[in-house]
Amino acid sequence: MSEASSLIPITVNGEHREVEPTVTGVQLFDSDKSVIAVRLNGQPRDLYTPLKAGDFVESIDINSKDGLAIMRHSATHVMAQAVQEIYPQAKLGIGPVIEDGFYYDFDVDKPFTPEDMKEIEKRMQRIIKSSQSFRRRIVTEDQARQEEADQPYKLELIDSAEEAIDQGKDTEVSQGQLTMYDNCDREGTVVWTDLCHGPHLPNTRYIKAFKLQRTAGAYWRGSEKNPMLQRIYGTAWASKEDLKAYLQRLEEAAKRDHRKLGAEMDLFSFPDEIGPGLAVFHPKGAAVINAMKEYSRIEHRKNHYSFVQTPHITKGGLYETSGHLQWYKDGMYPPMHLDEEKDANGKVIREGFDYYLKPMNCPMHNLIFKSRQRSYRELPLRLFEFGTVYRYEKSGVVHGLTRVRGLTQDDSHIYCTREQMKGELTSLLSFVLKLLKDFGLNDFYLELSTKDEHKYVGSDEIWEEATRTLAEVARDSGLDLVDDPGGAAFYGPKISVQARDALGRTWQLSTIQLDFNLPERFGLEYIAADGTRQRPVMIHRALFGAIERFFAILLEHYAGAFPAWLAPVQVLGVPVSEANSDYLKEILDRLDESLVRCEMDASDDRFGKKIRNASKSKTPFILIVGDDDQARGAVSFRFRDGSQLNGVAVDNALAWINQAITSHQQINSAADFCSATDASLSEEN
């Protein structure tokens, strides 16, 4: 046999090649040290995985999303090895990759201390410098059990894996088969082993920059019925520069944490007397919420929405019709059994009903549509409500305003004909993006969530039509579109708008869901032009999503320094002396008459301290009045960056403030103020 005939054909990064049958990714990408793994026929695999004829091989760079995930997962193995070297009796849980990092769960005698973390980190550095390689082994169930005999959590994972393998599913430790990963020293001696499906780095020295961040208690597999384990969180990056930049982002994010700012700015709180996840908004926080709502109301009126209002509680039968009880009962508050009647002997003479706190608005909007006969001439019918709903989130999941139990949705349900559907979706997406931009968010991409094969209603044909239509509308928008397989609600696919904030973090905001199924379940109909009864198409749309969560996102995006139109206090008056207070109050009263949100510092503090306090308040306009201003019928401006406009005539000042608020621009300086108004930096009156 000739040498050429012994070669096998493969495709490498789109290029056809003939290679030796013993070749692996190690040889294919030997000249590029940034390649740490391969995508083999679409699946991430170790760099030394054997190849066969016909394979499609793509390189995975350590800086890519997949590359970072592989490096971080390898870092979890290094961390677990370090823990077991220091604490030999530690039992291992799981060590998955999470956004920007990783964690591993351990069963140890006592929680880890900061000193323990430092020691573990030093041991990890020693392991990394030793250039241990990661080597994969396929094992049988018996072999795995024998090797993990003293690891109860791993034995439980083996049980789950065997069942999943029989069903053709993957688990934390298996992808069609059970595998172990050995950490081997330079002589090839196995120094540590873990049950894992991989893939991993070629060796530990590819972990260039890492840091252990914190510890926390975590129930095994998230269930309070299981033991409490100790979780160590860490992060790893492709370079020290990337790690430093990430830690700086975290530091800035901590400064912007909406819970911290909410307390500092007196915006909202979560009283223990009310319960977890149930916020109360203080006057300043409510001022922002009301500004958000009012602007949204105006824009919805311009776009021909009809406002509705529905109750907070309903009979459970409504959610049986919609299907929500079947799919979401665990996330709803328990029912209240009411309206039962008994006679004098205690015998039930009238059965009661289960009532539920409202977890969503769409079933009630369907009843509004169904309340009378509808004509095609009424369509599209756009119903809109600021509807407060209640969802039972577990205590460990509740997080500030971003995950609450009581939330207000800016909820719309649009009923249209099949022919109107695509045009309505297109205009709806444009409307959503326009409003989000008005609130200062400008960096978007779209996500298309498709059918969960285990959780849906309706025919495959309807789902295919709905998904295809949404995909066409999303692509026509010109924004990047990424897939979210299986992420749809049970009744239809959706587009979600993903927005990046000032720190580059991504938030899911508006959602647009196309639904052929709830109209069917509720028997919704309209009279078509030919006199026949037809089923409408239903579009679910939440623009802010939850107002509380959107408030938190904006608070962090602006670091509390809201645009003037949204700011909880738009103008803060600071008199130089008490003698100037009455004059300044008259100015603020005039602003108050035009609904500008004003406050005055009437404290006994010295003027210098008042100015320092005002600078910390994040108020867009600080009005200062001294004797010279008062004598000239003027006022002076101070802005967030410390710049000033002095001696501005009062009438001009009031007109410019109103003009600046109306402009919706972010104003942090005198220059910003002048560009948004008719003001001049040379103004001296």
- Per the listing, tokens 């003939």 go with 18
Are 401 and 366 part of one and the same domain? Answer: yes
413 in a structural domain: yes
Contact 360, 323 (CB under 8 A): no
406 in a structural domain: yes
The confidence score (pLDDT) of residue 651 equals 94
**Would you say residue 178 has pLDDT above 60?**
yes
Q: Give the range of the structural domain holding residue 243, as residue numbers without chain letter.
A: 65-253
Break the chain down into helix, strand, coil percent, rounded to 5. Answer: 35, 30, 35
The confidence score (pLDDT) of residue 5 equals 58
* Domain CATH code at residue 86: 3.30.980.10
Are 237 and 103 part of one and the same domain? Answer: yes
H helix or E strand, kind and range, residue 410: strand 406-416
Contact 513, 542 (CB under 8 A): no
452 in a structural domain: yes
**Would you say residue 209 has pLDDT above 90?**
yes
Return the number of other C-beta atoms located less than 10 Å from residue 222's C-beta. 10
Instruction: Supply the DSSP symbol for 335.
Output: P
Q: Which of 591, 586, 574, 594 is nearest to 636 (CA)?
A: 574
The confidence score (pLDDT) of residue 168 equals 67
Write down the catalytic residue from 409, 498, 630, 666: 409
Are 85 and 152 part of one and the same domain? Answer: yes
* Domain CATH code at residue 16: 3.10.20.30
Instruction: Return d(Cα 7, Cα 27) in angstroms, integer.
Output: 15
* H-type alpha helices, 130-215: 141-147, 152-166
pLDDT, tens digit (0-9, with 9 covering 90-100), for 535-577: 999 999 998 989 999 999 999 999 999 999 999 999 999 999 9
Instruction: Return d(Cα 197, Cα 160) in angstroms, integer.
Output: 14
pLDDT, tens digit (0-9, with 9 covering 90-100), for 61-114: 999 999 999 999 999 999 999 999 999 999 999 999 998 999 999 999 999 999
Instruction: Return d(Cα 114, Cα 137) in angstroms, integer.
Output: 35
Q: Which of 139, 36, 121 is nearest to 78 (CA)?
A: 121
Are 419 and 513 part of one and the same domain? Answer: yes
pLDDT, tens digit (0-9, with 9 covering 90-100), for 372-416: 999 999 999 999 999 999 998 887 788 999 999 999 999 999 999
Write down the catalytic residue from 45, 123, 391, 541: 391
**Would you say residue 685 has pLDDT above 70?**
no
The confidence score (pLDDT) of residue 167 equals 67
Cis peptide before 380 (omega within 30 of 0): yes
Return the number of other C-beta atoms located less than 10 Å from residue 241's C-beta. 11
* H-type alpha helices, 307-385: 317-322, 324-328, 362-370
pLDDT, tens digit (0-9, with 9 covering 90-100), for 510-534: 999 988 889 999 999 999 999 999 9
573 in a structural domain: yes
* H-type alpha helices, 373-417: none
Beta strands 481-484; 443-449: pairing state: parallel
Worst-scoring range by mean pLDDT, 26-30, 287-291, 531-535?
26-30
Are 119 and 245 part of one and the same domain? Answer: yes
Tokens of 220: 């095994």
Write down the catalytic residue from 196, 362, 598, 674: 362
The answer to whether residue 413 is catalytic is yes
The confidence score (pLDDT) of residue 662 equals 92
Tokens of 399: 């997080």
Contact 107, 154 (CB under 8 A): no
Are 650 and 554 part of one and the same domain? Answer: no
Are 406 and 504 part of one and the same domain? Answer: yes
Are 31 and 46 part of one and the same domain? Answer: yes
Instruction: Return d(Cα 571, Cα 591) in angstroms, integer.
Output: 9
Percent of the chain whose pLDDT exceeds 70: 97
* Domain CATH code at residue 608: 3.40.50.800
281 in a structural domain: no
Percent of the chain whose pLDDT exceeds 90: 72
Mean pLDDT within 106-133: 96
The confidence score (pLDDT) of residue 2 equals 47
Mean pLDDT within 654-665: 93
Are 164 and 216 part of one and the same domain? Answer: yes
Write down the catalytic residue from 411, 601, 629, 672: 411
351 in a structural domain: no
Residue 540 labeled ligand binder: yes
Contact 374, 298 (CB under 8 A): no
348 in a structural domain: no
Tokens of 387: 């509807």
Q: Which of 625, 626, 634, 643 is nearest to 573 (CA)?
A: 625
Residue 362 labeled ligand binder: yes
Burial letters 308-326, b for 16+ CB under 10 A, else e? bebeeebebebbebbbbbe
The confidence score (pLDDT) of residue 66 equals 94
Residues sharing a CB contact under 8 Å with residue 44, sequence separation 6 or more, in sequence order: 37, 38, 60, 66, 70, 199
| Residue 135 phi, psi (nearest 5) | -120, 130
Write down the catalytic residue from 540, 597, 610, 638: 540
Mean pLDDT within 107-125: 96
The answer to whether residue 362 is catalytic is yes
Give pTM, 2 decimals: 0.82
* H-type alpha helices, 36-102: 65-86
- More confident call, 339 vs 186: 186
Structural domains of the chain, count:
4
602 in a structural domain: yes
The answer to whether residue 409 is catalytic is yes
Helices 547-557 and 240-256: crossing angle, nearest 10°?
A: 120
pLDDT band of residue 683 (cuts 50, 70, 90) is very low
Are 130 and 241 part of one and the same domain? Answer: yes
Amino acid symbol at 546: A
Tokens of 269: 């709180």
The confidence score (pLDDT) of residue 681 equals 63
pLDDT, tens digit (0-9, with 9 covering 90-100), for 430-447: 999 999 999 999 999 999
The answer to whether residue 304 is catalytic is no
The answer to whether residue 416 is catalytic is no
- Averaged pLDDT score across all residues of the chain: 91
Are 602 and 546 part of one and the same domain? Answer: no
Contact 161, 171 (CB under 8 A): yes
Listed residues 22, 41, 61: the one ending a domain = 61
Residue 258 labeled ligand binder: no
Burial letters 53-83, b for 16+ CB under 10 A, else e? eebebbbbbbebebbbbbbbbbbbbbbbbbb
Helices 421-438 and 283-302: crossing angle, nearest 10°?
A: 140
Mean pLDDT within 301-326: 91
Are 521 and 632 part of one and the same domain? Answer: no
Residues shown for the chain: 685
* Domain CATH code at residue 458: 3.30.930.10
Worst-scoring range by mean pLDDT, 61-70, 223-232, 450-459?
450-459
